[in-house]
Structure 1
Amino acid sequence: MEKDILNVDIKSMSKEQRAELLARLQQEEKDDRIARREAYEALRGEFLHEVKAKVEALVDDVRGFKKWLEEEVDGFTGVMKEYGQVKNGEQMTYTVVDGDFKLEVKGNKVKGFDERADMAAERLIDYLKRYMQRSDKGADDPMYQMAMTLLERNKMGDLDYKSISKLYELEDKFDGEYADIMRLFKEANVVQRNARNYYFWKRNPENGVWTRIEPSFCRL
């Protein structure tokens, strides 16, 4: 078809024939764009399908490894207690070394809030909106912006203990209602949980230096 079009003497064609030829060329160009788009979308779908399958399998493997490691660490910690290798039953942090491999277990208590903190957060947001409306600077008021930023939640949807603690320091910037809301936050700060992290190390046989093994995209 393209050769036929190239061999056509446009000057000898009538107005209607030229219009028909132009329509044919435009349709072919449109069909070509559609074909390229469909090919791209098909390749994109295949590519993302493969990535998704591998990512989900990897996540399942990591989740399984974490569960296995936690159970094994619990069991080995019990053995260490019986053998006297931990100071007391409450010890949460220790290091186990064998040859050129080292496992470091670090435990700590994480402070948090109960349901009263959600109530306090709602009251504070309402308070700050009213404060912003009274302020000459409106939403640009730095005190309003700072307090709202400190109320942002983490990826788990929880209020950040350190950020809320900084809100306490702003009491002298606001009135008694603000101080009352801060008291509710402080009363809600009664929840604690144990967090445990694991760190893996390998020693270089040439210089004896320990290097952390970090199974992370950011570290590989």
Structure 2
Amino acid sequence: MAEKPKTAAELRQELAEAEARERAENEKNRKAYETLKDETVTTLCRDAITLNAALADFKEQAFTDTQEVYKLLQEYSGRHRDGKGNFTIESKDGQYRVSYKRQGKSHFDERSHQAEKHIIDFFNSKYEGDQNTKEMIMALLERKKGALDINLIQKLYQFEDRFDDVNWKKGISLLKESYSYNHSKDYINFEHKDSRGEWKSIVLQFTNV
């Protein structure tokens, strides 16, 4: 027996019920989405704040500790305080290492030219016949694009007490006085050895912390 056709009222009732179910489902999905979104944003941001604070504390500790090591290294090695201050230290077992780099630009002002003249006068008056020593010292005063190299000058400082001469002492003194370093940022890089014995960076972004 054929099913009796639904009346217009029945069809409208079914449509209304279907639309109501759809609205209810949409409302349920909306609430679920908004709840999950709020929980996710709140949880992640709170965790991010905690991690940011921990990273900031670790950054301060890392810079303080590495500078303490470098300070002791300078005292132990007898190196002059001038220079960029870049260094790398490694754990005793060879599994970890930390590199400290200072970004900036070193500069020797006009007094460095007068320092060179004093040093040249010293050699011309005391060691005119010792060409090898003169060439060695003058090589450390070599300029590239008009600028002295602090790494070479550091080597020159090692001879500061080698010669007891007025021009020599004055030249070294003027070099030190003429030096300045425009510091911008410091960077620390952490590394460890993987299972193959290769150095791998331990990625931490300190730049904006």
Structure 1 length as normaliser, TM-score?
A: 0.48
Instruction: Report which structure shows greater RCO (CA 8 Å, sep ≥6).
Output: 2
Segments of structure 2 that go 5 or more residues without pairing to the other structure are 107-181
Which of 95, 102, 110 lines up with 1:107 in the alignment?
102
CA 86–65 in structure 1, closer or farther in 2 if over 3 Å, else same: farther
How many residue pairs were aligned? 127
Q: What's the CA shift for 1:31?
A: 1.6
Segments of structure 1 that go 5 or more residues without pairing to the other structure are 1-8, 112-191
The 5 Å alignment of 1:152-191 reads none
Q: What's the CA shift for 1:91?
A: 3.7
Structure 1: distance between partners of 2:185 and 2:192: 24
Equivalent pair of 1:10/1:18 in contact (CA under 8 Å):
no
CA 34–85 in structure 1, closer or farther in 2 if over 3 Å, else same: farther
Structure 2: distance between partners of 1:196 and 1:64: 16
Partner of 1:200: 190
> Higher helix share goes to which structure?
1
Q: Does 1:73 align with 2:62?
A: no
What residue identity is the alignment partner of 2:203?
A: E
Structure 2: distance between partners of 1:10 and 1:43: 47
CA 202–86 in structure 1, closer or farther in 2 if over 3 Å, else same: farther
Instruction: Name the larger-Rg structure.
Output: 2
Structure 1: distance between partners of 2:6 and 2:50: 66
Equivalent pair of 1:92/1:108 in contact (CA under 8 Å):
no
Structure 1: distance between partners of 2:30 and 2:4: 31
Partner of 1:213: 202
Partner of 1:39: 32
Partner of 1:175: none
CA 110–90 in structure 1, closer or farther in 2 if over 3 Å, else same: closer
Structure 2: distance between partners of 1:35 and 1:203: 51
SS in 2 for 1:197: strand
CA 98–24 in structure 1, closer or farther in 2 if over 3 Å, else same: closer
Structure 1: distance between partners of 2:78 and 2:201: 24
Q: What whole-Å deviation, never above 9, does each CA across 1:147-177 have from its counterpart, x for those lacking one?
A: xxxxxxxxxxxxxxxxxxxxxxxxxxxxxxx
Equivalent pair of 2:97/2:191 in contact (CA under 8 Å):
yes
Equivalent pair of 2:102/2:183 in contact (CA under 8 Å):
no
Root-mean-square deviation over aligned CA pairs: 3.0
Structure 2: distance between partners of 1:196 and 1:203: 24
